[in-house]
Amino acid sequence: MITIYHNNRCSKSRQALELLQNTGQEIKVVPYLSETPTVEELRAILAKLQAGPEDIIRKGEKLYKEVYAGQHLTQEEWLQVLTENPVLIERPIVVNGEKAVVGRPPENVLTIL
C-alpha cells in the first residue's frame, strides 16, 4: 500500500494525491497536520528518503523563519521540532514499501510506483 502524508490545503499535495489515485493502487492518506508522525515514524520515513530531518523542513514557513532559522540543532532535536510542529514538514511525502519521495514536483511520486 502507498502512504501519502498529505495536506489538503496544499495544491502540490492535492496534485500528487490525484496522480496516485489515477494509478488505481491502494492509497492510505495520512493528514499529517492532525495525525502527526511520531519521532520513530519520522526516522523510518527519513531512512526511506535517504535524508536527514533538515532535508524535509519547510524553510519558507513563518515559524521556521522566526524561531528556527540559523539554529544548529542535532538530528534528534530536529525530529522533536518536526513532531511538535508538523507544519514544518515538507509535503507531500509518499512512501511505497522501502522507498519514499517528496512530491515536489508532484510527478516525483511516480518514480516510486
Beta carbons within 8 Å of 66's beta carbon, 6+ residues apart: none
Which of 7, 10, 16, 42 does the annotation list as catalytic?
10
Q: How many CA atoms lie within 13 A of 8 on its CB side?
A: 4
Is 43 catalytic? The answer is no
Residue 37 to residue 7: CA distance in whole angstroms: 13
Tell me which residues are annotated as active site: 10
